[in-house]
């Protein structure tokens, strides 16, 4: 059985747009590259042909995986979520107890994580440590560099 993939509405739209691009733009482009390489003659020693065929295989694999994810996708509805605890799609402001630095993160499905935008994967150590916690709680979170203490300052949507 395939794994369920969770998306926000915005994330699902972006995912579908990428899949459409792969199918309608990149797939025909690779087909053209293969045809051009084939027209150059002997295929047994044609590096361009081999490279285009390999690119086509990788593209088809990516399309196949994305289509499977789409079939098993579920949209997360955050309209009735409780802001008293940290859940997926929560935006959490935390304070590092050691250096007093305050950071804000949105907890999103793994496929929508983007640290530059402050979106961390629900599968990350920090997100896992925050889940289910309330404002004011001080928690120890095990990260690759050791254990860090954080205080939850604010939870919002």
Kindly list the domain boundaries of the chain, sorted by start residue. Answer: 5-75, 91-156
pLDDT of residue 31 exceeding 70, the answer is yes
Which tokens in the block code for residue 85? 């605890």
Task: Give me the residue label for tokens 């150059």.
Answer: 40
Topology of domain 91-156, CATH: Chitinase A; domain 3 (3.10.50)
- Residue 64 is predicted with a pLDDT of 94
Report the top-level CATH class of 5-75: mainly alpha
pLDDT of residue 86 exceeding 60, the answer is yes
Nearest to 66 by CA among 22, 25, 110, 8: 22
Instruction: Report, as an integer, the average pLDDT of 60-81.
Output: 86
pLDDT of residue 1 exceeding 60, the answer is no
CA-to-CA separations, 104 to 29, 94, 119, 121, 136, in angstroms, rounded: 41, 6, 9, 13, 15
Task: Give me the residue label for tokens 């915005």.
Answer: 10
- Residue 157 is predicted with a pLDDT of 79
Domains 5-75 and 91-156 are alike in CATH topology:
no
Label residue 7 by pLDDT band (50, 70, 90). Answer: confident
CA 124, CA 106: separation in Å to the nearest integer?
12
CB environment 50-77: b (16+ within 10 A), e (fewer) = eebbeebeebeeeeeebeebeeebeebe
Instruction: Report, as an integer, the average pLDDT of 35-46.
Output: 77
């Amino acid at each position: 059985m395939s794994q369920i993939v969770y998306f926000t509405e915005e994330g699902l739209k972006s995912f579908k747009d990428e899949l459409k691009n792969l199918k309608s733009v990149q797939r025909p482009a690779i087909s053209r590259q293969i045809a051009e390489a084939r027209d150059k003659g002997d295929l047994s020693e044609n590096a361009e042909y081999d490279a285009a065929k390999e690119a086509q295989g990788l593209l088809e694999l990516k399309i196949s995986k994305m289509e499977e994810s789409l079939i098993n996708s579920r949209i997360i509805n955050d309209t009735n979520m409780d802001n008293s605890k940290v859940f997926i799609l929560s935006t959490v402001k935390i304070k590092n107890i050691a250096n007093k630095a305050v950071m804000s993160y949105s907890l999103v499905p793994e496929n929508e994580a983007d640290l530059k935008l402050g979106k961390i994967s629900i599968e990350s150590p920090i997100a896992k440590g925050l889940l289910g916690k309330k404002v004011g709680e001080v928690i120890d979170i095990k990260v690759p560099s050791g254990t860090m203490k954080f205080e939850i300052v604010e939870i919002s949507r």
